[in-house]
């Protein structure tokens, strides 16, 4: 007689909790990025207007953003390495919580503080905010490469999809930053500086809670990158990064400090009017940026953009600030109209250029090393903003808005010259034009 072995009954296994898809991860990252962008735009307007009302010069206001931009340079360089080594969730969390800390630091700022102490204190808070901003941005921009599927049978389809996703992210971000500019002017007028930063800190903390469900390995490289990987870049990534440096220096040399002070002091605009205009400028810029793929299709461009597109839009952009500066120098028409209309046109062309740039950096890299390469690229972006911010304050003191616009034309011309040396991305079948 044989005995039959029996297996003790065990409770049925519960089905494993399904993890978040790549798309869901990306949506959470993007939502947090949007919330962060609102506070970042509003904070810039709050700092500029508040300290200008206290009698600070444009150069002193520019110094308030010195550490913001400087630490952004370092953050992008090392943040990309951290993202590749430890995952994008860590960099996203760190960036968001640092921004909350920076906003909380600004709550006790008082008009009675000595000027030297106010400048030093706000510079430290802005340094933390600069680190936070670029950690957050690098995480969001890198995440997009992990979402777009590989298309080995149709490379052009994959590149077109990547271009659309990049355009949507960058366009929506900039539109929300414009809303943040307007929000900053409104909050300053209705709540005052201290209450405004407290409210923004609370809202951003709520947005952070939504990111707690992200997996720890999101964007983490399979092979831990060494420190030397920070600087070992391809010719395309190096060239595009240098062009990005000049491009964003050309924008911020007039946008960060010179323009809001010019509109308020020279043209007599109110705070909310300045914030509204700059907000609309960035919103329009974001809409054009997000619509770049559709606009290219409308113009008969069915292939992904390539080097020729970068060259074309850089060349067109060079002429615009030069013509505005010439109009101010020759006193052609109303200076307010020349600046407002000219910079609106600048925004349209700059948006097309920036959208194509944001796609090209992802076209030059692969999904495995995306955070390293994107971090390096946005390090150049931050360095350009740093130079532009300092020049904006200094040149406005020396030569007013005209000098800032002339410098902008020079910097865009440099970006164009660099772009003529760019190679085609490796996966392009046909470069766009």
How far apart CA 238 and CA 221 sit, in angstroms, is 21
Please state the φ and ψ torsions of residue 114, each to the nearest 5 degrees: -60, 145
Report yes or no: 251 and 408 within 8 Å, Cβ to Cβ. yes
pTM of the prediction? 0.72
Instruction: Walk along the chain (433 residues) and give the pLDDT tens digit of each residue.
Output: 444 444 444 444 434 335 677 678 778 888 888 899 999 989 988 888 888 788 887 777 877 777 887 887 778 777 777 777 777 888 889 999 999 999 999 999 888 888 888 888 988 898 899 889 888 887 877 777 666 655 555 556 666 777 777 777 777 877 888 788 888 888 888 888 899 999 999 999 999 998 898 887 776 766 665 555 555 568 888 899 999 999 999 999 988 788 888 888 778 888 778 877 887 888 888 889 888 888 888 888 877 788 999 999 999 999 999 999 888 888 776 777 888 888 889 999 999 998 898 888 888 887 667 777 877 888 888 889 889 988 888 898 888 889 999 999 999 999 999 999 999 887 654 444 3
Cβ neighbors of 80 (< 8 A, separation 6 or more) are 138, 142, 230, 371, 372, 373, 374, 375, 376, 378, 379
Contact, 259 vs 126, CB < 8 A? no
Phi-psi region of 7 (alpha: psi -120 to 50; beta: other; left: phi over 0): beta
Check residue 231 and give its pLDDT: 59
How far, in Å, CA of 24 to CA of 103, rounded? 29
The Cα–Cα gap between 32 and 169 comes to 12
Separation CA 287–CA 281 (nearest Å): 10
CB-based burial label for 345 (10 Å; 0-12, 13-18, 19+): middle
The whole-number pLDDT of residue 1 equals 44
Q: Cβ contacts of residue 51 below 8 Å, gap of 6+?
A: 60, 61, 64, 118, 122
- Closest among 294, 250, 278 to 174, alpha carbons compared: 278
Which candidate, 305, 347, 374, 25, places its Cα nearest to that of 181?
A: 347
Over the stretch 87-126, which tens digit does the pLDDT of each residue have? Answer: 788 888 999 999 999 999 999 988 888 888 888 898 889 8
Those residues with Cβ within 8 angstroms of residue 338's Cβ, 6 or more apart along the chain or in another chain: 324, 327, 328, 332
Query: What pLDDT is recorded for position 411?
Result: 96
- For residue 323, give every residue at least 6 positions away whose Cβ sits within 8 Å of its Cβ, in sequence order, or none: 342
Q: How far apart are CA 271 and CA 51, in angstroms?
A: 12
Structural domains in the chain, CATH included, are 22-212+229-419 (1.20.1250.20)
CA distance 261 to 266: 8
149, with CB counted inside 10 A (0-12, 13-18, 19+), is: exposed
Backbone angles phi, psi at 401, to 5 degrees: -65, -30
Task: Please write the tens of the pLDDT for every residue from 349-358.
Answer: 999 998 898 8
> Which residue in 329, 350, 138, 178 sits closest to 248, CA to CA?
350
| Cβ neighbours of residue 212 closer than 8 Å, sequence gap 6 or more | none
Residue 281: the pLDDT is: 85
How far, in whole angstroms, is CA 321 from its chain's centroid?
21
134: tokens are: 């670029």
**Alpha carbon 300 to chain centroid, angstroms:** 29
CB-based contact 173:30 (threshold 8 Å): no
> Which DSSP state fits 232?
-
* CA atoms of 265 and 181, how far apart (whole Å): 18
Q: For the chain, what's the residue count?
A: 433
Q: Give how far the C-alpha of residue 360 lies from the chain's centroid of Cα atoms, to the nearest Å.
A: 15
At 2 the pLDDT is 45
């Amino acid at each position: 007689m044989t005995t039959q072995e029996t297996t003790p009954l065990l409770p049925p296994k519960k089905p494993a909790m399904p993890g978040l898809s790549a798309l869901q991860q990306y949506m959470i990252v993007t939502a947090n990025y949007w919330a962060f962008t609102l506070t970042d735009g509003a904070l810039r307007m709050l700092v500029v207007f508040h300290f200008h009302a206290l009698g600070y010069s444009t150069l002193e206001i520019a110094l308030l953003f010195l550490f913001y931009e400087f630490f952004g340079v370092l953050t992008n360089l090392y943040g990309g390495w951290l993202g590749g080594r430890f995952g994008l969730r860590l960099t996203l969390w760190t960036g968001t919580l640092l921004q909350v800390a920076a906003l909380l630091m600004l709550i006790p700022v008082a008009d009675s503080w000595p000027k030297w102490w106010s400048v030093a204190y706000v510079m430290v808070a802005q340094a933390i905010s600069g680190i936070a901003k670029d950690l957050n941005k690098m995480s969001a921009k890198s995440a997009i490469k992990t979402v777009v599927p590989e298309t080995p049978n149709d490379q052009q389809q994959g590149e077109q999809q990547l271009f659309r996703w990049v355009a949507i992210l960058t366009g929506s971000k900039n539109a929300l930053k414009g809303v943040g500019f307007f929000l900053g002017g409104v909050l300053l007028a209705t709540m005052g500086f201290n209450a405004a930063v407290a409210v923004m800190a609370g809202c951003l903390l709520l947005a952070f809670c939504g990111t707690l469900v992200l997996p720890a390995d999101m964007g983490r490289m399979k092979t831990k990158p060494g420190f030397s990987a920070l600087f070992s870049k391809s010719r395309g990534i190096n060239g595009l990064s240098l062009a990005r440096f000049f491009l964003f220096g050309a924008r911020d040399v007039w946008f960060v400090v010179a323009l809001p002070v010019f509109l308020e002091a020279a043209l007599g605009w109110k705070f909310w009017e300045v914030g509204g205009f700059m907000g609309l400028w960035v919103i329009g810029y974001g809409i054009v940026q997000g619509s770049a793929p559709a606009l290219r299709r409308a113009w008969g461009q069915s292939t992904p953009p390539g080097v020729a597109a970068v060259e074309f839009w850089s060349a067109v952009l060079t002429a615009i600030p030069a013509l505005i500066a010439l109009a101010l120098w020759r006193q052609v028409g109303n200076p307010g109209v020349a600046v407002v209309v000219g910079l609106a046109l600048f925004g349209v062309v700059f948006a097309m250029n920036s959208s194509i740039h944001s796609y090209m950096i992802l076209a030059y890299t692969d999904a495995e090393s995306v955070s390293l390469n994107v971090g390096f690229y946005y390090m150049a972006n931050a360095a350009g903003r740093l130079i532009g911010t300092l020049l904006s304050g200094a040149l406005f003191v020396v030569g007013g808005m005209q000098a800032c616009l002339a410098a902008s034309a020079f910097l865009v011309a440099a970006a164009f010259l660099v772009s003529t040396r760019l190679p085609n991305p490796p996966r392009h079948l046909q470069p766009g034009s």
